[in-house]
Amino acid sequence: MRRALPIVALLLAGCSGVQTMTEGAGFGSRQFNSLMLLFLIVTGISFALVLIFLLLALWRRRSEPGEARVRSWLIAWIAFIVIGLILLTGASFLSDRREATAAADQQPLKVTVSASQWWWGIEYQNDDPSRIIHTANELHLPVGRPVQLKLNSGDVIHSLWIPALAGKQDLIPGRDNDIRILPTRIGRYRAQCAEFCGLQHAHMAFDVTVESPQAFAAWYAAQLQPAPEPATPLAKAGHDWFMSHACSNCHAIGGTDANGRTGPDLTHLASRRTIAAGTLQMSRGNLMGWIENPQGVKPGARMPTVGMSADELHAVASYLETLK
Amino acid sequence: MTEPDPRAELRDGPELMGDALDARLSETWGDKPGLIGWLRTVDHKRVANRYIVTALVFLALGGVLALLMRLQLAQPESGLISADRYNQIFSMHGTTMMFLFAVPVMEAFGVYLVPLMVGTRAIAFPRLNAFSYWLYLFGGIMIWVAFLLDIGPEAGWFSYVPLSGPQFSAGKRTDFWAQMITFTEVAALAVAVELVGTIIKQRAPGMRLDRIPLFVWSILVTAFMVIFSMPAVTLASSMLISDRLVATQFFNATEGGSALLWQHLFWFFGHPEVYIIFLPGLGFISAITETFCKRPVFAYPLMVAALVTTGLLAFGLWVHHMFATGLPRLGYAFYTAASMAIALPSGVQIFCWIATMWDSRPRLEVPMWWVIGFIITFVIGGLTGVMIASVPLDLELHDTYFIVAHFHYTLIGGGVFPLLGALTYWFPKMTGRMLGNRLGKISFLFTFGGFHLTFMTMHFTGLMGMPRRVYTYPAGMGWDMLNLISTIGAFVLALGVLIFVLNIVLSLRGGAIAGDNPWGAASLEWATHSPPRPYNFAHIPAVTSNTPLWEETLPCFSGLRVEERELLLTTAVEAEPDIREPSPKPSVWPLVAALATTLLFIWSIFSPWAVVWGSIPAAIALILWFWPKDPAEPGKEPVIE
């Protein structure tokens, strides 16, 4: 299973990344794989024993009475269960401890994740306030360095789950949760909210990119930059429309007047793989479809339909496409 | 000779037996014909039949919802059902199956069988029993009408706050859900009390604790679990209602409440709830195995100990539903260990059933097919349960289709398969006719095959990262084919259940006439007529072993009054004859009280004043229900014949 499943997943999974928990791309997922293997062996033996006993009981020759023999088997069976359970409980406990202390000596990257219905706000923390960056629905992580994700929720309970890297942790209003993840393999992965959070729970995913420390540093540096000035007249028109209409109430674009925080930060929107919390691939067509009618793509989404003409839509999409 | 005393009591005994006794008892215990008699009945068998039929209707409705979900998920990005409707559908599926089908149907079998199995004439508190049925029926109708009017629950059968709170679930949808909880909890608690009373005090003389049939043991443990676990969810749902209706802040974190409080209370009930559903299933398995192996179940004391242990451990597991909530991590180890420990009593029981078959010549009639199907399925569900008891495994598997697969293996494997076996097994007792053999086998094969096709597949869907409770999913995740297979399997499963229903319909009219004891079983219910007379037993049987009907003779007690409803109470442990106790007559007041309570409950969805004004009609109904009757003359002691 450990080998077969990821291969199937790789064959089938689209460009948005793998969401298989046996992927083993993080310390947690690797622990999961080895622990699961142990559990499969022990439970598999138990199941086989039950089946064999059942088949023998149904088809054995009834020449000799069986009661005395069965009594000694019962004791053996109880001993097997007790030993098996102690083994599995112990292994589970040790695995949990190992995960809790993995790479404890390394300084973790600190990221705050704020979940809302139905998107993820991401904030990379830094002691230097000018080096804090905001993004949404994407997480870039350097391989081999632990990340400490601080989890909070602005509305209902959500659950952060990057199956290929590690197990899940809930984001609960009024509670400070956190989870420590150690990515161990470069790749693109998909993560999805795992706690039912209302109407669009199904469309609350985000993209995870595990990359080399150099690539991560480059990405980080790019994210620190403010949004570029619109270069073409069309993009300029889009920028002006964005700033003078409802968009800028909720969205922030670094380096402009738009600084709303109720919706996702759009400063480097065009550099992301997906939009609308993993709902659509990033493309001009999808971007226009989403802006024109969010309720058609994701009924119930908090983003309202803002009345705009075809030209205005065209212009705004052109502007957003420059936000690399 | 003196003149016969006009106040002399008529009793069963040597001078009154056979047809004359039957006529007398039928008059005393029977219901009047017609609608009035139907509405007034307190006969545990009639009430239980209603309970069972109603619960099976809810099973069918819940099943239709399951098929709708499977249709939606058969392909990615399906537009068949909207997000809003889908969320209501999965909430109603869980709510219906847990609260309106599984728990009631198991209690209903207890209500039908326990008085017969312990050898008494009626259930304890028969009017309360009628009341509980009406309340359950009205609560079920209420939630389904609400659902069909598009005000069904939308926050899942678990209704986590704050999603189910006033801010994020506006309108009345969640209020209907919370009030449905109140209805079904009151009904379930009432039945639990009756069953405990019947089992503790009304057993036939000689049925010591170590001679109680294993099914009755399983019902006793279940009833105690209901009594200890249900108040938690009743409390939680009441707090939710008051948060929503009168702006209390129990679950609002910004006002000092706690979102996790709901989860603790809900799962303190919710985990025992699962065992409440499958412990009676284990009881069915024991009864069927004993009969078709023609020997008592292997290691009876161990079986009883296993049931009791499971019942106790069930209350120490609830946190394993909350491993991802960020509670102190070291504390989880306790719940992991406790959750895994459940495998021990379960494993021992599985062993004992197979050992029973080993040490006998089992007859492979249809009920035994279900037993074998149960063993295979339930063991798989138990073993995946061991996996998710482990924190590192659960943190990945939690809230994925792996969990959906796991609990359907335990609930369908551990609850529904035994139930279908039990229906086949006790059908002749309940209706007087045998359930058709051929269709029985065909329906087993379809149900069993369809089940595994549906849910075995879901283990893999889950491992590949598909979360639960999503109304749709993107293409290209590797889930498409797996979901399609599950959908096909679900329809095969539904076909199997449909054939089962068809079999019932055909057999009700054309099934072979069953004698009193068609399977040659050992427990007391098979000593009655098929179907049993309203009074169950003409003479109260006396029990001298675990398998009374396999003894040479079945001795009996006489001396109970026949012109009044009278029961023989026995001592709790040794079941020695203790006192004679009158049993209530039919009454329409339980129905009226249930209607008044229904008014109060539904009204209080809309106004807190319902609790004040709505209690007046309920109080009147209860006063009339309990209006004192002439105290019966204390009679002579019963005599052993």
Q: Does residue A12 carry a pLDDT above 70? A: no
Is the CB of A66 less than 8 angstroms away from the CB of B364?
A: no
Whether the CB-CB separation of B635 and B625 falls below 8 Å is answered with no
Residue range B62-103, pLDDT digits in tens = 999 999 999 999 999 999 999 999 999 999 999 999 999 999
Whether the CB-CB separation of A181 and A165 falls below 8 Å is answered with yes
| Distance separating alpha carbons of residues A178 and A151, to the nearest angstrom | 5
B579 interfacial to chain A (CB closer than 8 Å): no
Whole-model pTM? Answer: 0.95
Is the CB of A168 less than 8 angstroms away from the CB of B324?
A: yes
User: Which residues in chain B touch residue A28, judged by CB atoms under 8 angstroms apart?
Assistant: 392, 395-396
Residue A99: CATH number of its domain: 2.60.40.420
| Distance separating alpha carbons of residues A307 and B525, to the nearest angstrom | 73
Q: Does residue B508 carry a pLDDT above 90? A: yes
Phi, psi angle pair for A124, to nearest 5°: -80, 120
Residue A70 has what pLDDT? 87
The answer to whether residue A113 is domain-embedded is: yes
- Shortest Cα distance, chain B CAs vs residue A49, angstroms: 10
| Distance separating alpha carbons of residues B105 and B117, to the nearest angstrom | 17
A193 lies in the same domain as A272: no
Starting at the edge strand found earlier in the chain, the sheet holding B639-640 runs B540-541, B556-558, B639-640
- Segment B12-18 mean pLDDT: 82
**Which residue of A lies nearest to B297 if distances are taken between CA atoms?**
A67
Domain termination site, one of A164, A197, A223 = A223
Whether the CB-CB separation of A205 and A277 falls below 8 Å is answered with yes
Question: Could you tell me which of B214, B197, B43 has the C-alpha nearest to residue B590?
Answer: B43
Is the CB of B163 less than 8 angstroms away from the CB of A36?
A: no
Is the CB of B326 less than 8 angstroms away from the CB of A73?
A: no
Domain count, chain A: 2
The answer to whether residue A66 is domain-embedded is: no
Least confident stretch, B173-187, B284-298, B360-374, B624-638: B624-638
Q: Which residues contact B347 (CB under 8 A, 6 or more apart)?
A: A46, A77, A78, A81, B382
Question: What does DSSP assign to residue B11?
Answer: B
| Distance separating alpha carbons of residues A261 and B326, to the nearest angstrom | 27
Instruction: Decide: helix, strand or coil at residue B541.
Output: strand
Question: Could you tell me which of A88, A3, A110 has the C-alpha nearest to residue A40?
Answer: A88
Domain termination site, one of A173, A192, A223 = A223
A27 lies in the same domain as A81: yes
A246 lies in the same domain as A169: no
Question: Which segments of A22-73 are extended strands (E)?
Answer: none
Residue B245 has what pLDDT? 94
Is the CB of B329 less than 8 angstroms away from the CB of A100?
A: yes
A181 lies in the same domain as A267: no
A217 lies in the same domain as A240: no
Residue B631 has what pLDDT? 60
Q: Does residue B150 carry a pLDDT above 80? A: yes
B88 interfacial to chain A (CB closer than 8 Å): no
> CA A308, A310, A316 angle in degrees (round to 5)?
70
Q: Does residue B533 carry a pLDDT above 80? A: yes
Secondary-structure class of domain B34-527 per CATH = mainly alpha
ipTM > 0.90 for the complex: yes
| Distance separating alpha carbons of residues B451 and B490, to the nearest angstrom | 7
Residue of B259, B361, B473 with shortest CB distance to A157: B259
Whether the CB-CB separation of B356 and B289 falls below 8 Å is answered with yes
C-alpha Rg value of chain A to the nearest Å? 26
Q: Which residues contact B13 (CB under 8 A, 6 or more apart)?
A: B558, B559, B639, B641
**Structure token digits, residue B322:** 């909350």
A217 lies in the same domain as A239: no
> CA B409, B411, B416 angle in degrees (round to 5)?
105
Taking CB atoms and an 8 Å cut-off, how many pairs form between chains A and B? 252
The answer to whether residue A63 is domain-embedded is: no
Residue range B267-292, pLDDT digits in tens = 999 999 999 999 999 999 999 999 99
**Which residue of B lies nearest to A43 if distances are taken between CA atoms?**
B383
**Which residue of B lies nearest to A173 if distances are taken between CA atoms?**
B253
Residue whose tokens read 């006192």: B579
Q: Does residue B9 carry a pLDDT above 90? A: no
Domain termination site, one of A223, A251, A274 = A223
User: Which residues in chain B touch residue A60, judged by CB atoms under 8 angstroms apart?
Assistant: 358
Chain B residues 395-434 with a CB less than 8 Å from chain A: 395-400
Q: Does residue A213 carry a pLDDT above 50? A: yes
Residue B73 has what pLDDT? 97
Is the CB of B344 less than 8 angstroms away from the CB of A82?
A: yes
- Segment A213-220 mean pLDDT: 97
pLDDT band at B294 (very low <50, low <70, confident <90, very high): very high
A188 lies in the same domain as A262: no
User: Which residues in chain B touch residue A74, judged by CB atoms under 8 angstroms apart?
Assistant: 299, 348, 351-352, 355
User: Which residues in chain A touch residue B473, judged by CB atoms under 8 angstroms apart?
Assistant: 202
- Shortest Cα distance, chain A CAs vs residue B142, angstroms: 23
Residue range B125-142, pLDDT digits in tens = 999 999 999 999 999 999
Question: In 10 A of CB B395, how many CB atoms?
Answer: 26
Is the CB of B387 less than 8 angstroms away from the CB of A39?
A: yes
Chain B residues 295-324 with a CB less than 8 Å from chain A: 298-299, 324
Is the CB of B464 less than 8 angstroms away from the CB of A92?
A: no
Residue of B258, B361, B470 with shortest CB distance to A201: B470
Beta bridge partners of A136: A121
Residue of A5, A60, A163 with shortest CB distance to B396: A163
Phi, psi angle pair for B155, to nearest 5°: -110, 25
Q: Does residue A8 carry a pLDDT above 70? A: no
The answer to whether residue A228 is domain-embedded is: no
Chain B residues 468-497 with a CB less than 8 Å from chain A: 468-478, 480
Residue whose tokens read 């460009």: A15
Residue range B426-453, pLDDT digits in tens = 999 999 999 999 999 999 999 999 999 9
Interface probe with A: pick from B169, B297, B358, most Cβ of A within 10 Å: B358
Phi-psi region of A285 (alpha: psi -120 to 50; beta: other; left: phi over 0): alpha
Per the model's pLDDT, the better-predicted residue between B330 and B478 turns out to be: B478
Residue B88 has what pLDDT? 97
Residue whose tokens read 């097919």: B369
A107 lies in the same domain as A44: yes
| Distance separating alpha carbons of residues A66 and A45, to the nearest angstrom | 23
Is the CB of A74 less than 8 angstroms away from the CB of B354?
A: no
Is the CB of A20 less than 8 angstroms away from the CB of B168?
A: no
Is the CB of A77 less than 8 angstroms away from the CB of B477?
A: no
- Segment B346-350 mean pLDDT: 97
Residue of B162, B336, B397 with shortest CB distance to A89: B336
The answer to whether residue A258 is domain-embedded is: yes
Domain ranges of chain B: 34-527
A128 lies in the same domain as A266: no
> CA B564, B569, B573 angle in degrees (round to 5)?
170
A237 lies in the same domain as A294: yes
Residue A1 has what pLDDT? 40
Interface probe with A: pick from B88, B353, B361, B470, most Cβ of A within 10 Å: B470
Residue span of the structural domain in which A288 resides: 233-321
A170 lies in the same domain as A50: yes
Is the CB of B298 less than 8 angstroms away from the CB of A70?
A: yes
**Structure token digits, residue A262:** 């109720």
Is the CB of A300 less than 8 angstroms away from the CB of B84?
A: yes
Maximal CA-CA distance, chain A: 96
Residue A3 has what pLDDT? 43
Residue B8 has what pLDDT? 57
What is the b/e burial string over B569-582, where b = at least 16 CB atoms within 10 angstroms of the residue's CB? bbeeeebebeebbe
B610 interfacial to chain A (CB closer than 8 Å): no
Residue A104 has what pLDDT? 85
Residue of A85, A170, A177 with shortest CB distance to B341: A85
Is the CB of B468 less than 8 angstroms away from the CB of A196?
A: yes
The answer to whether residue A64 is domain-embedded is: no
| Distance separating alpha carbons of residues B108 and B101, to the nearest angstrom | 10
Beta bridge partners of A112: A123, A150
Whether the CB-CB separation of A196 and B156 falls below 8 Å is answered with yes
| Helix or strand holding residue A89 (H, E) | helix A67-100
**Structure token digits, residue B23:** 């006529």
* The pairing of beta strand B566-570 with beta strand B556-558: unpaired
User: Which residues in chain A touch residue B354, judged by CB atoms under 8 angstroms apart?
Assistant: 50, 53-54, 57
User: Which residues in chain A touch residue B167, judged by CB atoms under 8 angstroms apart?
Assistant: 155
Residue A125 has what pLDDT? 97
> CA A135, A6, B77 angle in degrees (round to 5)?
60
Long-range contacts of B224-228 (CB under 8 A, 24+ apart): B224/B192, B224/B196, B224/B311, B225/B272, B225/B275, B225/B276, B225/B279, B225/B311, B225/B314, B226/B103, B226/B107, B226/B188, B226/B189, B226/B191, B226/B192, B226/B276, B227/B189, B227/B192, B227/B193, B227/B196, B228/B272, B228/B315
User: Which residues in chain B touch residue A299, judged by CB atoms under 8 angstroms apart?
Assistant: 82-84
Residue range A223-244, pLDDT digits in tens = 999 999 999 999 999 999 999 9
A204 lies in the same domain as A258: no
Question: Could you tell me which of A44, A177, A67, A115 has the C-alpha nearest to residue B357?
Answer: A67
